[in-house]
Structure formats: structure tokens, C-alpha cells
Amino acid sequence: MFHDRARIHVRAGHGGDGGLSFRREKFVPRGGPDGGDGGRGGDVVLLCDDSMRDLQSFKRWPHHKAKRGRHGEGALRHGDHVKEVAHRYSGARDFLFLGRGVNYPIALEGALKLKEISYIHAEGYPAGEMKHGPIALIDRDLPVVVIATPGRVYEKVLSNMQEVRARDGRVIAVAVEGDERVAALADEVLSVPRVDEDLSPLVNVVPLQLLAYWVAERRGCDIDQPRNLAKSVTVE
């Protein structure tokens, strides 16, 4: 964990397929061995990948704050369609979730929520690594949820969708409203509002949460108290 009163320095680096990644490089205390203030101060130097070409995006977050609520409401606007899709695929035994860059963690979140409340085996995977294993599982019985909103890796995600379709996989795409290129490759489209790429995870997670909810509801699962899960973990 980073120190409570550490100052943060960010330096551009390389790595990944457009994802946001940080690692702690070093802690430099100020004012002596204990930082001059009881060990409560210092500089944390981080290394981030070159996808943060616009580090100024951090400065835009306060400006976006007022818009986040509207974007979330926009994603909820298609809730009835998500429910229909969920009911159609509620009998599946497995799901695969694919995401790239900033939306890879959202693919993981979508898979996690589906498995923990519907008891369906679901796996989140970086779309760029699909050919290194998961592609062998794809057939007409495997729904593949692909996060395909605009961004630096958009074209690569479309290529992933083509690969899934070529193997008779069922594609459920999270895409911006009116995206005809995604619609042409997907069996189902879960629409979200168009937002800045850096904000897209906050919007894209909404239909995935709803998908998990309605699949679980259709299967008769106890959504409020999933089996084997506790509100808090007291043992390791």
C-alpha cells in the first residue's frame, strides 16, 4: 500500500495493449530516515504504461464528475433489453468475457458477478490473449461477452469478435448506441452511451451487472444471499 501522505509522481512507460497499469517503483522519504515528520511523508514514484499518453485526462475527471450520473442513467435506459438477453442465455453452462485495455478489469468484473450470483461458470480474459487458450472453448453453446466500445483498441476488439463468429460462438457485445460495425458482428448488443474512453469502464459495467442479475433471477437463485458467500471474510 502507498503511504498516506506520500506525494505521487507519474512517469510514462511502456506496456500492454492500451490498459492502465501502475506499479510502485520506490518510496523516497523527505527530511531524513523518517521523512522528517515521523515517517509520514515522502515521494512515491509510479511507472505507468504509454496508454496514458493523455495524462491530462486525470485533470479532466473533476469536469466529468457531473456527467457520470447522466451516463449511468443512460446505460440503465436499456435495462429491459438486457433482461431479455439474460433470459435467452440463462441456460448456458459457461460464459466467456473479453475486454482490452481499460475495459479488461470490467470483463473480469462481469464474469465475477455472473458466477457468484447465478452459479454459472464464467471466465474473464484479456481479448488480446484469446488465441492462447480460450479460443479452443468457443462453439455455438458458449456465449462470449465482448466489451466493444470506442477507444484505442477498438479495431482489435472487432477482430476478436470476427474470430468468435468464425467458430460459431454467440457474441453478446457491449457497444455504444448506433454502432453498426459491432451490430453486424454480434448476436446481441447491450447498448451504452458514448463517453470518453477513460470513463467507459464506469458505463460499461452497468449492463454486465444487470446481465448477471437477470440471469440469476431467471434461474431462481437467491441474489441477495448467494450460496457460500459472506458479507465479510473473517478467516484466510
More confidently predicted of 225 and 109? 109
Contact 179, 147 (CB under 8 A): no
**Domains of the chain: which residue ranges?**
6-54, 62-218
Question: Is 199's pLDDT higher than 50?
Answer: yes
Which overall architecture, per CATH, does domain 62-218 show?
3-Layer(aba) Sandwich (3.40)
pLDDT tens digit sequence for 22-54: 444 444 444 444 444 444 444 444 434 444 444
Which pLDDT band holds residue 106 (cuts at 50, 70, 90)?
Answer: very high
pLDDT computed for residue 228 by the predictor: 86
